[in-house]
Amino acid sequence: MTLTKCFKCGDGLPEEGDFIYCHGCEEGYHFKCSISSSTYNAMSNKRKITWRCETCRDGRKADEYEAESQKSASQSGIKQQEIMEIKGMLRNLQNKIDGIVKSQQFISAKYDEIKSGQDKIEKQLKKFDETINRLISQDKIKEAKFEELSDRIAELEKRDSETKIEIHGLEELAEDNLGETVVKLIEKLDVNVDVSEIDLVERMKSKQTGKPRPIVVRFKTVRACNAVKAKKRAVLTNQDITGARSL
């Protein structure tokens, strides 16, 4: 196509081609009606072959403007639909996040409740442990005291058996002076025991009827008791000691 007129002013274009060509509307322009020749000559070849006039750059041609408007409207509709879809997705996502937050709050509350109950149980267990330890300690003290008392009783029983003798068959008299009777018995046995070494003399309770109750003699020393026990095989009669019938 041969260009003969300037698209802007309508005057003829130079035949020698001293004008500028728009690659948008494919029209020709005087340099004075578009840009200066110095500006054009300073452009790179790439810019020269893609140069567009002001009208094309602004998109003001009716047909291009309409096309652009339709394209923009179409793209706007597509974008609006995409935006609505994205908003819906965001709402769903927010609902899920809210559900997760509520679940976390519920779990956190339950955890705090369980933790509080656990703390109470641990405090109670600690008190139980303290009580048990205290009872164990008291039981050990009682056990130690019991063993001590048992040892003391055993010692006393041993001491009692080592310092005590029983005399059987000695007749009970109306005026039963047991002290004098035991002294006479010691004299008859010819035992080197002083009267002061006798601690206690008494008759035992007996379940047998018709027989004299045994006499218990406790000495103050083991030596005195053993001295009398050494004569246990001696044979004496009631007449020897009290002037009554035989033992």
Query: 3-class DSSP state for residue 201?
Result: strand
- Is 155 part of a structural domain of the chain? no
Q: What is the pLDDT of residue 75?
A: 62
- Is 223 part of a structural domain of the chain? yes
**In CATH, what number is assigned to the domain containing residue 48?**
3.30.40.10
Query: 3-class DSSP state for residue 150?
Result: helix
Q: What is the mean pLDDT of the chain?
A: 83
pLDDT per residue as tens digits for the range 139-196? 999 999 998 999 888 888 887 788 888 888 778 877 778 888 888 888 888 888 888 9
Q: Name the residue with tokens 């339950």.
A: 110
* Phi-psi map region of 91: left, alpha, beta (phi>0 left; psi -120 to 50 alpha): alpha
- Is 130 part of a structural domain of the chain? no
Pairing type for strands 215-219 and 164-167 reads: antiparallel
- Is 127 part of a structural domain of the chain? no
Last residue in a domain, options 60, 85, 109: 60
Q: For residue 37, count other CB atoms closer than 10 A to its CB.
A: 14
**In CATH, what number is assigned to the domain containing residue 204?**
3.30.70.1820
User: What is this structure's pTM?
Assistant: 0.38
Q: Which range of residues forms the domain containing residue 10?
A: 1-60
| Domains held by the chain: number | 2
- Yes or no: say if 164 and 217 are a contact pair by the CB < 8 Å rule: yes
- Is 92 part of a structural domain of the chain? no
Query: Where do the H-state alpha helices sit in the chain?
Result: 37-41, 45-48, 54-58, 62-162, 178-189, 222-229, 238-241
pLDDT per residue as tens digits for the range 67-125? 555 665 566 666 788 888 898 899 899 999 999 999 999 999 999 999 899 999 999 99
Distances (CA, A) of 149 to 75, 140, 152, 160: 107, 14, 5, 16
What letter would DSSP give residue 6?
A: B
Last residue in a domain, options 9, 36, 60: 60
Q: Exposure pattern of 182-204 as b/e (b: 16+ CB <10 Å)?
A: bbbbbeeeebebeeebbeebeee
Q: What is the pLDDT of residue 168?
A: 82
- Is 136 part of a structural domain of the chain? no
Last residue in a domain, options 60, 79, 105: 60
